[in-house]
């Protein structure tokens, strides 16, 4: 997919206030750790995640998505009348029916002649929504659109801890399937895309590569106790080692397509934003693609894996801390269970970002967060 008329105009985000460290999670898992004689510090050592954040328990995803979208609209100064599409792209949503996008659309006071719906595709929903909006803009169907999503990981982490402590027949090998669930955090992000004639930034979307290796769809999935709204009793089962290996292979295949669509070579990519799963995953992906770790911005050690919100939130923070500079080619490298891969390329010019919530301590302009 190639684009000539689309700009990533701006971003808005919300970070939770409550910080939960991996040490605190291990303390809550004391019955399991004692039973299996697990060493303390194992969770952070395996994942590279020191902490994650959670929204208050009573807060619904739509509540936060409204706030993130308002932040994006305030940052860009976009006229609500120009918004022709509103897509809600996170796994978590308020209800199965109607679409959470309906509530967000109403709260934002957007026009009635606006395309409104939810997209759910594991960690890629917001990027998928961005592509759909970009396609509508490129075709001349709309002037601008908003894709937004909020992931709330508290319930998954709480239920995983309870399940691990209550299941007395688990082995060390068994708990590997639950490790990924303990890395989950919460975050929210909105992205506004618009026609270049309307843009104040000139952050032009150049192209996109996509790939579906769905033979691996069973490597990460919800199990008994799931609640599709994301607020009930969700549990996940993940073969983390195989998912990482096959995800990296999918990424490598997509990257070749991505380079063809953008017309870039690897050495023409100035900045990268990867999906935020863990530090090992990040390092191995970039090594496989022949890209420098020094040019990549990460938040996973501070925010954990925030699903579909992870990559766009990291993009917003990278832009806000001036890690992205005018004239740079930026590659957004998304991978989601299924396995699907979406990679977007944009030439950055001007940053319009507004956020709510304190940035992680140690985040610097260099993009090299403390501890990386």
Q: Given this model, what pLDDT does residue 225 score?
A: 55
Would you say residue 363 has pLDDT above 90?
no
Tell me the per-residue pLDDT of 220-249, one tens digit each, with 9 for 90 and over.
887 755 444 444 567 878 888 888 899 999
**All structural domains of the chain with their residue ranges:** 18-182, 205-351
Q: Model's pTM, two decimal places?
A: 0.94
- Tell me the per-residue pLDDT of 26-39, one tens digit each, with 9 for 90 and over: 999 999 999 999 99
Q: How far apart are CA 217 and CA 243, in angstroms?
A: 9
Q: Are 18-182 and 205-351 in the same CATH fold?
A: yes
Other Cβ atoms less than 10 A from the Cβ of 281: the count is 23
Residue 203 carries which DSSP code?
Answer: -
Tokens of 340: 């699907």
User: Does pLDDT of 168 surpass 60?
Assistant: yes
**H/E segment holding residue 360:** none
Instruction: Say what the pLDDT of residue 234 is.
Output: 72
Task: State the helix-helix crossing angle for 310-320 and 125-138, rounded to 10 degrees.
Answer: 70
Query: Region 38-48: what's the mean pLDDT?
Result: 93
Active site (catalytic) residues: 97, 123
Mean pLDDT of 268-295: 95
CATH architecture designation of domain 18-182 = 3-Layer(aba) Sandwich (3.40)
pLDDT tens digits for range 79-103: 999 999 999 999 999 999 999 999 9
Question: Is CATH 3.40.47.10 what the domain over 205-351 is classified as, yes or no?
Answer: yes
What is the tens place of the pLDDT at every residue in 60-81?
999 999 999 999 999 999 999 9
Confidence of residue 366 (pLDDT cuts 50, 70, 90): very low
Give the C-alpha distances (Å, rounded to integers) separating 34 from 26, 31, 168, 211: 11, 5, 11, 43
- For range 187-216, the mean pLDDT: 98
From start to end of 172-285, where are the E strands?
A: 187-195, 204-212, 220-222, 236-238, 271-274
Least confident range of 61-70, 131-140, 160-169, 220-229: 220-229
Which letter does DSSP use for residue 305 in this model?
A: B
Measured distance CA(271)–CA(299) in Å, rounded: 15
Which two tokens mark 83? Answer: 């918004």
């Amino acid at each position: 997919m190639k684009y000539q008329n689309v700009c990533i105009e701006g971003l808005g985000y919300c970070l939770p206030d409550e910080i939960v460290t991996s040490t605190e999670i291990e303390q809550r898992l004391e019955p399991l750790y004692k039973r299996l004689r697990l060493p303390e510090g194992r969770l952070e050592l395996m994942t590279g995640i020191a902490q994650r954040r959670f929204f208050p328990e009573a807060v619904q995803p739509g509540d936060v998505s409204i706030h993130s979208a308002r932040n994006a609209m305030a940052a860009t100064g976009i006229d609500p009348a120009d918004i022709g599409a509103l897509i809600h792209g996170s796994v978590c949503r308020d209800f199965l029916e109607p679409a959470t996008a309906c509530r967000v659309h109403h709260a934002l006071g957007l026009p009635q002649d606006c395309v409104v719906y939810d997209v759910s595709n594991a960690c890629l929903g917001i990027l998928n929504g961005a592509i759909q909006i970009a396609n509508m803009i490129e075709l001349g169907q709309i002037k601008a659109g908003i894709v937004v999503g909020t992931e709330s990981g508290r319930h998954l982490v709480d239920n995983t801890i309870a399940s691990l402590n209550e299941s007395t027949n688990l082995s060390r090998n068994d708990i590997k399937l639950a490790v990924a669930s303990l890395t989950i955090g919460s975050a929210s992000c909105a992205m506004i895309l618009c026609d270049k004639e309307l843009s104040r930034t000139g952050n032009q979307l150049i192209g996109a590569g996509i790939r579906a290796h769905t033979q691996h769809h069973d490597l990460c999935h919800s199990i008994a106790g799931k609640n599709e709204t994301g607020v009930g009793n969700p549990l996940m089962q993940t073969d983390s080692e195989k998912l990482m290996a096959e995800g990296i292979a999918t990424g490598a295949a997509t990257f070749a397509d991505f380079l063809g669509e953008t017309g870039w070579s690897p050495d023409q990519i100035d900045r990268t934003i990867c999906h935020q799963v863990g530090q090992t995953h990040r390092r191995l992906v970039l090594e496989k693609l022949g890209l420098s770790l020094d040019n990549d911005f990460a938040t996973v050690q501070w925010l954990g894996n925030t699903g579909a919100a992870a990559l766009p939130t990291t993009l917003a923070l990278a832009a806000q801390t001036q890690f992205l500079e005018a004239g740079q080619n930026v590659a957004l490298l998304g991978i989601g269970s299924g396995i699907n891969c979406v990679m977007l390329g944009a030439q950055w010019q001007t940053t319009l970002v507004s956020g709510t919530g304190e940035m992680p301590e140690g985040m610097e302009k260099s993009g090299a967060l403390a501890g990386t």
